[in-house]
Protein backbone atom coordinates (compact mmCIF):
# COMPACT_ATOMS: atom_id res chain seq x y z
CA UNK A 1 0.00 0.00 0.00
CA UNK A 2 1.59 3.25 -1.10
CA UNK A 3 -0.94 5.62 0.49
CA UNK A 4 -0.70 7.57 3.73
CA UNK A 5 -0.71 5.23 6.71
CA UNK A 6 -1.67 6.11 10.28
CA UNK A 7 -1.24 4.03 13.40
CA UNK A 8 -3.09 3.19 15.54
CA UNK A 9 -6.54 3.48 14.00
CA UNK A 10 -8.20 3.71 17.38
CA UNK A 11 -6.89 4.61 20.81
CA UNK A 12 -8.75 4.68 24.10
CA UNK A 13 -6.83 6.19 26.97
CA UNK A 14 -7.46 7.39 30.49
CA UNK A 15 -7.34 11.07 31.23
CA UNK A 16 -3.84 12.13 32.19
CA UNK A 17 -2.05 9.49 30.13
CA UNK A 18 0.28 10.25 27.25
CA UNK A 19 -0.44 9.01 23.74
CA UNK A 20 1.60 8.97 20.55
CA UNK A 21 0.34 8.60 17.00
CA UNK A 22 2.34 7.81 13.90
CA UNK A 23 1.91 8.89 10.29
CA UNK A 24 3.77 7.44 7.31
CA UNK A 25 3.27 9.75 4.31
CA UNK A 26 3.62 8.89 0.65
CA UNK A 27 7.37 8.49 0.27
CA UNK A 28 8.03 11.21 -2.29
CA UNK A 29 5.89 13.83 -0.52
CA UNK A 30 7.91 16.50 1.26
CA UNK A 31 5.05 18.14 3.13
CA UNK A 32 3.17 16.45 5.93
CA UNK A 33 0.15 17.93 7.73
CA UNK A 34 -1.66 17.08 10.95
CA UNK A 35 -5.32 17.98 11.42
CA UNK A 36 -7.79 17.39 14.23
CA UNK A 37 -11.48 16.79 13.65
CA UNK A 38 -14.07 16.84 16.41
CA UNK A 39 -17.61 15.59 16.01
CA UNK A 40 -19.72 17.74 13.71
CA UNK A 41 -16.82 19.94 12.61
CA UNK A 42 -14.46 20.04 9.68
CA UNK A 43 -10.80 19.13 10.17
CA UNK A 44 -8.70 21.88 11.76
CA UNK A 45 -5.05 22.43 10.96
CA UNK A 46 -2.59 21.63 13.73
CA UNK A 47 0.90 21.72 12.23
CA UNK A 48 2.95 20.89 9.18
CA UNK A 49 6.43 19.79 8.19
CA UNK A 50 8.50 20.36 5.13
CA UNK A 51 10.90 17.44 5.25
CA UNK A 52 12.09 17.40 8.88
CA UNK A 53 11.40 21.09 9.58
CA UNK A 54 8.24 22.02 11.44
CA UNK A 55 7.24 25.24 9.68
CA UNK A 56 3.91 26.19 11.23
CA UNK A 57 1.95 25.40 14.36
CA UNK A 58 -1.65 26.33 15.03
CA UNK A 59 -2.69 28.02 18.23
CA UNK A 60 -4.76 24.88 18.76
CA UNK A 61 -1.50 23.07 19.45
CA UNK A 62 -1.09 23.61 23.18
CA UNK A 63 2.10 22.89 25.12
CA UNK A 64 0.83 19.36 25.73
CA UNK A 65 1.11 18.59 22.02
CA UNK A 66 4.37 17.93 20.24
CA UNK A 67 5.06 16.71 16.74
CA UNK A 68 8.23 15.47 15.12
CA UNK A 69 9.42 14.29 11.75
CA UNK A 70 13.01 13.40 12.60
CA UNK A 71 14.24 12.07 9.28
CA UNK A 72 11.80 13.76 6.99
CA UNK A 73 9.88 10.55 6.53
CA UNK A 74 7.33 9.40 9.14
CA UNK A 75 5.94 11.80 11.74
CA UNK A 76 4.72 11.38 15.29
CA UNK A 77 2.19 13.43 17.23
CA UNK A 78 2.34 13.13 21.00
CA UNK A 79 -0.25 14.38 23.44
CA UNK A 80 0.83 14.57 27.06
CA UNK A 81 -1.55 14.51 30.03
CA UNK A 82 -4.56 13.87 27.83
CA UNK A 83 -7.85 15.61 28.58
CA UNK A 84 -11.36 14.66 27.56
CA UNK A 85 -11.37 17.59 25.14
CA UNK A 86 -8.58 15.90 23.20
CA UNK A 87 -11.03 13.24 22.04
CA UNK A 88 -11.14 13.60 18.27
CA UNK A 89 -10.04 12.10 14.97
CA UNK A 90 -6.43 12.99 14.21
CA UNK A 91 -5.76 13.10 10.49
CA UNK A 92 -2.47 13.15 8.63
CA UNK A 93 -2.08 14.29 5.03
CA UNK A 94 0.86 14.57 2.66
CA UNK A 95 1.49 16.50 -0.55
CA UNK A 96 4.48 17.19 -2.81
CA UNK A 97 6.16 20.53 -2.17
CA UNK A 98 5.82 21.66 -5.75
CA UNK A 99 2.61 21.09 -7.58
CA UNK A 100 -0.23 22.61 -9.44
CA UNK A 101 -2.95 24.60 -7.63
CA UNK A 102 -5.18 21.54 -7.73
CA UNK A 103 -2.55 19.04 -6.60
CA UNK A 104 -4.30 16.67 -4.25
CA UNK A 105 -3.40 16.19 -0.60
CA UNK A 106 -3.66 12.53 0.38
CA UNK A 107 -5.19 11.73 3.74
CA UNK A 108 -4.52 8.78 5.96
CA UNK A 109 -7.38 6.88 7.54
CA UNK A 110 -7.03 8.79 10.79
CA UNK A 111 -6.53 7.89 14.42
CA UNK A 112 -9.67 8.05 16.55
CA UNK A 113 -8.72 9.07 20.10
CA UNK A 114 -11.13 8.63 22.97
CA UNK A 115 -10.12 9.96 26.39
CA UNK A 116 -12.14 8.49 29.24
CA UNK B 1 -15.74 35.87 9.39
CA UNK B 2 -14.47 32.31 9.18
CA UNK B 3 -12.04 31.63 6.37
CA UNK B 4 -14.30 28.96 4.88
CA UNK B 5 -18.00 28.77 5.70
CA UNK B 6 -20.59 26.24 4.75
CA UNK B 7 -23.85 27.78 5.78
CA UNK B 8 -26.37 25.22 4.71
CA UNK B 9 -27.61 22.93 7.44
CA UNK B 10 -28.44 19.27 6.92
CA UNK B 11 -29.72 18.73 3.40
CA UNK B 12 -32.20 16.03 2.44
CA UNK B 13 -33.06 15.26 -1.18
CA UNK B 14 -34.95 12.44 -2.86
CA UNK B 15 -33.11 9.90 -4.95
CA UNK B 16 -32.54 11.19 -8.47
CA UNK B 17 -32.71 14.87 -7.51
CA UNK B 18 -29.95 17.48 -7.70
CA UNK B 19 -28.18 18.26 -4.43
CA UNK B 20 -26.63 21.72 -4.18
CA UNK B 21 -23.93 22.44 -1.61
CA UNK B 22 -22.48 25.90 -1.03
CA UNK B 23 -19.42 27.47 0.49
CA UNK B 24 -18.01 30.99 0.90
CA UNK B 25 -14.41 31.89 1.59
CA UNK B 26 -12.08 34.70 2.59
CA UNK B 27 -9.07 36.09 0.75
CA UNK B 28 -6.56 34.02 2.73
CA UNK B 29 -7.66 30.75 1.19
CA UNK B 30 -8.37 31.92 -2.29
CA UNK B 31 -6.08 29.95 -4.55
CA UNK B 32 -7.81 26.63 -4.97
CA UNK B 33 -10.77 24.76 -3.57
CA UNK B 34 -11.59 21.17 -2.85
CA UNK B 35 -14.75 19.25 -2.14
CA UNK B 36 -14.38 16.19 0.06
CA UNK B 37 -16.89 13.52 0.94
CA UNK B 38 -16.63 11.98 4.38
CA UNK B 39 -18.53 8.94 5.57
CA UNK B 40 -19.06 8.55 9.29
CA UNK B 41 -15.88 7.48 11.04
CA UNK B 42 -13.80 7.65 7.86
CA UNK B 43 -11.27 10.13 6.55
CA UNK B 44 -12.13 12.73 3.87
CA UNK B 45 -12.15 11.53 0.28
CA UNK B 46 -11.51 14.03 -2.52
CA UNK B 47 -14.35 14.47 -5.00
CA UNK B 48 -13.28 17.50 -7.00
CA UNK B 49 -10.88 20.41 -7.06
CA UNK B 50 -11.32 23.76 -8.79
CA UNK B 51 -9.17 26.88 -9.05
CA UNK B 52 -10.41 28.69 -12.16
CA UNK B 53 -13.58 30.74 -12.38
CA UNK B 54 -16.52 28.87 -13.86
CA UNK B 55 -17.73 25.31 -13.87
CA UNK B 56 -15.88 22.02 -13.77
CA UNK B 57 -17.73 18.79 -14.40
CA UNK B 58 -16.78 15.24 -13.52
CA UNK B 59 -19.47 12.63 -14.01
CA UNK B 60 -22.44 13.48 -11.80
CA UNK B 61 -20.51 16.22 -10.00
CA UNK B 62 -20.11 19.86 -11.02
CA UNK B 63 -18.03 22.32 -9.06
CA UNK B 64 -18.60 26.04 -9.58
CA UNK B 65 -16.25 28.83 -8.57
CA UNK B 66 -17.10 32.53 -8.54
CA UNK B 67 -14.07 34.50 -7.38
CA UNK B 68 -15.82 37.86 -7.51
CA UNK B 69 -18.41 36.66 -5.00
CA UNK B 70 -15.91 34.38 -3.18
CA UNK B 71 -18.31 31.51 -3.56
CA UNK B 72 -17.82 27.87 -4.48
CA UNK B 73 -20.50 25.23 -4.88
CA UNK B 74 -20.92 21.55 -5.64
CA UNK B 75 -23.85 20.12 -7.55
CA UNK B 76 -24.59 16.41 -7.42
CA UNK B 77 -26.91 15.27 -10.20
CA UNK B 78 -29.00 12.10 -10.04
CA UNK B 79 -28.33 11.79 -6.31
CA UNK B 80 -28.05 8.26 -4.98
CA UNK B 81 -28.48 6.94 -1.42
CA UNK B 82 -24.75 6.13 -1.50
CA UNK B 83 -24.09 9.88 -1.80
CA UNK B 84 -25.39 10.30 1.76
CA UNK B 85 -22.40 11.64 3.68
CA UNK B 86 -20.87 14.82 5.05
CA UNK B 87 -19.47 17.10 2.36
CA UNK B 88 -16.53 19.29 3.27
CA UNK B 89 -15.47 22.39 1.39
CA UNK B 90 -11.80 23.32 1.77
CA UNK B 91 -9.76 26.26 0.55
CA UNK B 92 -6.04 26.49 0.04
CA UNK B 93 -3.78 29.51 -0.28
CA UNK B 94 -0.61 29.79 -2.28
CA UNK B 95 3.02 30.52 -1.44
CA UNK B 96 4.05 29.28 1.99
CA UNK B 97 0.43 28.25 2.63
CA UNK B 98 0.52 25.84 -0.29
CA UNK B 99 -0.80 22.50 0.86
CA UNK B 100 -2.51 23.76 4.02
CA UNK B 101 -6.24 23.21 3.80
CA UNK B 102 -8.84 25.27 5.64
CA UNK B 103 -12.12 23.39 5.96
CA UNK B 104 -15.67 24.49 6.43
CA UNK B 105 -17.75 22.79 9.08
CA UNK B 106 -19.34 20.41 6.59
CA UNK B 107 -22.84 19.81 5.26
CA UNK B 108 -24.64 16.55 5.99
CA UNK B 109 -26.41 15.25 2.90
CA UNK B 110 -29.08 12.58 3.09
CA UNK B 111 -30.47 11.07 -0.10
CA UNK B 112 -33.66 9.17 0.61
CA UNK B 113 -35.08 6.49 -1.70
What is the mean pLDDT of the segment spanning A91-110?
A: 86
When CB atoms are compared, the residue of B96, B100, B105 closest to A45 is: B100
| A41 touching B (Cβ < 8 Å) | yes
Q: For residue B98, is pLDDT > 90?
A: no
d(CA B12, CA A3): 33
Contact B105 A41 (CB under 8 A): yes
Q: In 10 A of CB B59, how many CB atoms?
A: 10
Decide if B47 contacts B61 (C-beta within 8 A). yes
Q: How far is B113 from chain A (nearest CA, A)?
A: 24
Is residue A113 less than 8 Å (CB to CB) from chain B? no
Say yes or no: A105 contacts chain B, CB-CB below 8 A: yes
Question: Which residue of chain B has the CA closest to A38?
Answer: B105
Q: Is B5 helix (H, G, I), strand (E, B) or coil?
A: strand
**Cβ distance A74 to A67 under 8 Å?**
no
Q: What is the mean pLDDT of residues B39-64?
A: 95
Chains A and B form CB pairs within 8 A to the count of 64
| A104 and B CB contact within 8 Å | yes
Distance between start and end Cα atoms, chain A: 33
Cα–Cα distance for residue pair B103/A110, rounded to 1 Å: 16
Q: How far apart are CA A68 and CA A40, in angstroms?
A: 28
Taking contacts as CB-CB distances below 8 angstroms, the residues of chain A near B9 are none
Give the pLDDT band of residue B62 (cuts 50, 70, 90).
Answer: very high
On the question of pLDDT at B69 being above 70, the answer is yes
Angle at A88 between CA A87 and CA A93, to 5 degrees: 145
Does A84 have pLDDT greater than 80? yes
Amino acid sequence: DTGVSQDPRHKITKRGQNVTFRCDPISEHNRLYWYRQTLGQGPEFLTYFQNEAQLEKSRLLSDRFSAERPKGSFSTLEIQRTEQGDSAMYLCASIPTRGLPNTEAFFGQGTRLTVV
Amino acid sequence: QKEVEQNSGPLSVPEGAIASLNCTYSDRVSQSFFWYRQYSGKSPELIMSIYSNGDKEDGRFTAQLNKASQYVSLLIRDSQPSDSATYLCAGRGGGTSYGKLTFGQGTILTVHP
